[in-house]
Each structure stands twice: as C-alpha cells, then as structure tokens.
Chains A and B, each alone.
Chain A
Amino acid sequence: MIVNLFFYFFSFILIVSALMTILSQNSIYSVLFLVLSFVSSSSILFLLECEYISLIFIIIYVGAIAVLFLFVVMMLDVKTVYLAKDSLKYFPFGSFIGIVFLIEIALIIPTTFESANPYNVSFLWNCYFDWFNKLDYFTEVMSIGHLLYTDYIIQFLLSGNILLLATVGPVTLVLIRSTKPTKTQVTFKQLSRTYSSVLHI
C-alpha cells in the first residue's frame, strides 16, 4: 500500500536525519537536520492518524525549540573548525554501549509482543469499528480535553507552573546585572593615613 511506503520513507528520513544531527560538524546544519527529523516524525504521526499530536509536534518542536536553537547558534557565533580525530576518540566505547543496548532491545521486542493471535501482525488489531461511536463521536481534542481537565488536573497545573519557571528562569539568568562597585583603594585617602590618626586606644 502507498501508506506503508510513505511510512518506510519517513522513518528512513527520521533515522538518517537524526544520525546527521549528531554527526555533522557545523552547528547550523545540525539544527536544520533536527528540524527535518521533527518534521518527519510529525508526518509519521500523521500517517498513524493522530492529527492533533502531530500538529502540536510541528508547532512546539519546530516553532519553539528549533527556533530557540537557531537563535543561540546565530548569537554565539561558534567557530566550526574542529578536528575529526578529537570526536572519534570516544567512538569505540560509545558504539559498544549503543550496540549492546540495540541488540538487547532488538532481542526483547519480537519475543515480547508475539502472541498466538494471528491478527497480531496488523498494527491496528485492537481497534474495531463501533458504529455508535462513528455516528456520535468525540473528536480527538475533545477527548484529550475531557481527560486533561478531569483526571490529570493536578499534573496540568504542575506543568503550567513548570512553564512559568521556564519563562522566568532564563530571563533572570540572562539579565546583565549592574555589577556592584568593586572595592578599590582611594589613593589620596590611603596616603593620608598616618599612624597617629588611625589607632585610637
């Protein structure tokens, strides 16, 4: 099917752009590959038919986080000439750890999610058509709102507080404070001190 081909295509782009994010020497290319991986993951979610989350991914990841990274890259003006030898110093150790974890997970996953059900092969085997729900249905945003504002209200308020902290914190961090006047000697006052005028017993 064409949707499966799209899925393979976007997952390939996702993996390749994530690899290029951590491998590229220039920071600007790295940020742009990060944006590409965000967009491709968002289109994967679009293929899985959860539109709200995928649009939220585009808005928050590309619109907020990646633009923040681009601002910082533009502002810092980092020199991009680094030796490749220096970055390959930890390559055997890191690739060893990564390959060990990858083999473990790849051995775990096919044995865990396998069952005797022959319809297990399809991804959407838990979903079934309920025609009452098809006729009188909640949209996705409505059901998320029902869940978010009733069961998870404390977590919702906490995440609002975290966002407030993330708004106030960088402003107070980055503010250039007027530095206190440093303690220096006033020369004529220092020279005019004599032994008799200082000691009072």
Chain B
Amino acid sequence: MIILNLNYILNIVITLFLIGVLGLVLNRKNILITLMSIELMLLAINLNFVVFSIYLDDITGYVFVLFILTIAAAESAIGLAILTIYYRLKHTIRIDKIKNIKS
C-alpha cells in the first residue's frame, strides 16, 4: 500500500502538463512534436482524474478517463490525417512554413 502524499503525485502531474505546454510553445520545428505534446497534456489530465478518483474513493473519474481516451484517439487520428495531406501538398511539415497555407 502506498503511503504517499497527494501533493507529490499532483506535482508530478502538473509538471507533466507543463512539459506538454512547453512542447507546444518551444517547438517550432514540425507539427508531429506538437501533436505529441498534446498527447502528453491529455495524459496528464487522465492521471489527474485517476489520482483524484482514488483519493476521493469515487469511481466517476474512471468514466471520464475513458471519455478523454476516446477524444485523444480521435484527435490524434484526425490530426495525423491532416498532417499527411499537408505533407502531400507542401512536401514539408515545418511550422514556420505554414503561413503560406492561407488562400
């Protein structure tokens, strides 16, 4: 049985979420890393839901974890499809070249 404080786990989760935000802000190279950092943020949200659901002894958080997993899978599928089309049209996935996309 774990004798941990809740604050330690929450700090881990918040650090993970902020790593995802930093990945969104810092990364100017390709869109793939952006999608990955969005996945990291969703993972942090999921961990937060599960941790509070265990802490409060309530099963509702698990259900919302399942819904967030659904949204994450749908988001990554559609995002990667759009990325594939963009690569087919422009032959690059650099973010700083993306300003040419407006018609």
Q: B67: which A residues are within 8 A, CB to CB?
A: 155, 159
How many B residues touch the partner, as a band?
A: 35 or more
A98 with B22, Cβ < 8 A, contacts A27-B30, A41-B43, A68-B77 known: yes
Q: B25: which A residues are within 8 A, CB to CB?
A: 90, 93-94, 97-98
A interface, over-half SS: helix
Q: Considering the chains assembled together, what is the distance between the CA atoms of A174 and B79 in angstroms?
A: 11
A113 with B50, Cβ < 8 A, contacts A34-B39, A69-B35, A166-B74 known: no
Please give the distance in Å from B15's CB to the nearest CB on chain A: 6
- Interface positions, chain B 34-83, Cβ under 8 Å from A, are 35-37, 39-40, 43, 46-47, 50-51, 53-57, 59-60, 62-63, 65-67, 69-78, 80-83
Q: A101: which B residues are within 8 A, CB to CB?
A: 18, 21
Q: A65: which B residues are within 8 A, CB to CB?
A: 39, 72-73, 76
A21 with B3, Cβ < 8 A, contacts A48-B54, A87-B28 known: no
Please give the distance in Å from A13's CB to the nearest CB on chain B: 11
Please give the distance in Å from B2's CB to the nearest CB on chain A: 5
CB < 8 Å neighbour of A170 from B35, B59, B81:
B81
1/0 contact string of B66-103 vs chain A (CB within 8 Å)? 11011111111110111111010000010000000000
Please give the distance in Å from A29's CB to the nearest CB on chain B: 11
1/0 contact string of A162-196 vs chain B (CB within 8 Å)? 11011101100110000000000000000000000
Q: Could you name 20 residue pairs across A and B whose Cβ atoms are closer than 8 Å?
A: A21-B19, A22-B33, A34-B36, A61-B39, A86-B28, A86-B29, A87-B28, A94-B22, A113-B10, A122-B5, A127-B57, A140-B59, A147-B60, A163-B74, A169-B81, A170-B77, A173-B81, A173-B82, A174-B84, A174-B85
Interface residues of B (CB under 8 A from A): 1-7, 9-12, 14-16, 18-23, 25-30, 32-33, 35-37, 39-40, 43, 46-47, 50-51, 53-57, 59-60, 62-63, 65-67, 69-78, 80-85, 87, 93
Interface residues of A (CB under 8 A from B): 1, 3-4, 7, 11, 14-15, 18-19, 21-22, 25, 27, 30-31, 34, 37-38, 41, 44-45, 47-50, 52-53, 56-57, 60-61, 64-65, 68-69, 72-73, 75-76, 78, 82, 86-87, 89-91, 93-95, 97-98, 101-102, 105-106, 109-110, 113, 121-124, 126-127, 140, 143-144, 147-148, 152, 155, 159, 162-163, 165-167, 169-170, 173-174
